[in-house]
Amino acid sequence: MPKLLSQKKADTINWGIIGCGNVTEFKSGPAFNKAPQSSLVAVMRRDEEKARDYAQRHRVKKWYRDADELINNPEINAIYIATPPKFHEEYAIAAMQAGKPVYIEKPMSVDVAACIRMLNFSKKKGVKLTVAHYRRALPMFLKIKELLAEQIIGDIRFVNIRFLQKDQSEQVSKTEKNWRVDPAIAGAGLFYDLAPHQLDLVFYFFGKEQNACGFATNQAGLYQTEDIVTGNMLLQNNILFNGTWCFTVPENLEEDLFEITGSKGRISFPVFGHRILIETAEGKQQLDFEKLPHIQQPMIEKVVQYFLGNGNNPCSALDAIQSMSVMEKFVYGSHIKAGSL
Looking at the predicted structure, is the pLDDT value of residue 229 above 50? Answer: yes
Exposure on the CB side of residue 17, measured as CA atoms within 13 A: 33
Is 13-134+296-310 CATH 3.40.50.720?
Answer: yes
Beta-bridged to residue 149, according to DSSP, are none
pLDDT-derived band at 6 (thresholds 50, 70, 90) equals very low
pLDDT tens-digit readout, 75-103: 999 999 999 999 999 999 999 999 999 99
Residue 109 CA to residue 112 CA, distance in Å, equals 7
pLDDT tens-digit readout, 18-65: 999 889 999 999 999 999 999 999 999 999 999 999 999 999 999 999
> 110 with 212: CB under 8 angstroms?
no
Instruction: Give the pLDDT of residue 178.
Output: 81
139-290+324-332 fold: Dihydrodipicolinate Reductase; domain 2 (3.30.360)
Q: Which residues contact 104 (CB under 8 A, 6 or more apart)?
A: 80, 81, 88, 92, 118, 129, 130, 131, 132
pLDDT tens-digit readout, 271-305: 999 999 999 999 999 999 999 999 999 999 999 99
Residue 279 CA to residue 89 CA, distance in Å, equals 43
Percentage of the chain lying above the pLDDT 70 cut: 92
Give the start-to-end residue ranges of the domains of the chain.
13-134+296-310, 139-290+324-332
pLDDT tens-digit readout, 128-184: 999 999 999 999 999 999 999 999 999 999 999 999 999 975 555 555 568 889 989
